Amino acid sequence: MKCNDFLKELTDYLDGTISEGLKAELDEHLHWCRECHVVMNTTKKTIEIYRDNQIYELPENLRTRLQDAIMTKCASHKHTKKTSDK
Ligand SMILES: [Zn+2]
């Protein structure tokens, strides 16, 4: 599982609406991926705040921001490839 796959499933993971098999894969990713662990915690807290305000859905721009942040971090680990081709 890649970070991008993880992030796609993250909200379902936190909602507990994913299958056991997929959950196990996400758990495994969290074990070795510190970045996603941080994002997961941040997202979880954000969702809790929104729940308190009776707004259940994660705003799209927040999801995009988190995704950008994690992908930038992941990309910075390997300097083999640039993400922004002209
Ligand atoms: Zn990751």
The verdict on residue 20 lying in a domain is yes
Q: Domain containing 54: what range?
A: 3-75
Q: Kindly report the pTM of this predicted structure.
A: 0.58
- Inside any domain, residue 19: yes
> What is the total count of domains within the chain?
1
What CA–CA distance (Å, rounded) separates 40 from 26?
Answer: 10
**Distance from Cα 35 to the centre of ligand 1, integer Å:** 6
Averaged pLDDT in 10-residue chunks for the chain of 86 residues: 92 90 96 94 83 64 81 72 54
The answer to whether residue 85 is domain-embedded is no
Whether residue 30 is contained in a domain is answered as yes
- CA 77–ligand 1 middle distance (angstroms): 12
Ligand 1 center–CA 33 separation, angstroms: 5
**81, part of any domain:** no
Report the 10 Å Cβ neighbour count for 77: 8
pLDDT for 75 equals 79
58 domain residue, yes or no: yes
Query: What single-letter DSSP state applies at residue 83?
Result: S
**Residue 83 counted as domain residue:** no
| Residue 80 placed within a domain | no
Q: What is the pLDDT of residue 45?
A: 86
What is the CB neighbour count within 10 angstroms for residue 33? Answer: 19
Give the whole-angstrom CA distance, residue 12 versus residue 79: 31
Query: Nearest CA to 6 among 56, 40, 43, 57?
Result: 40
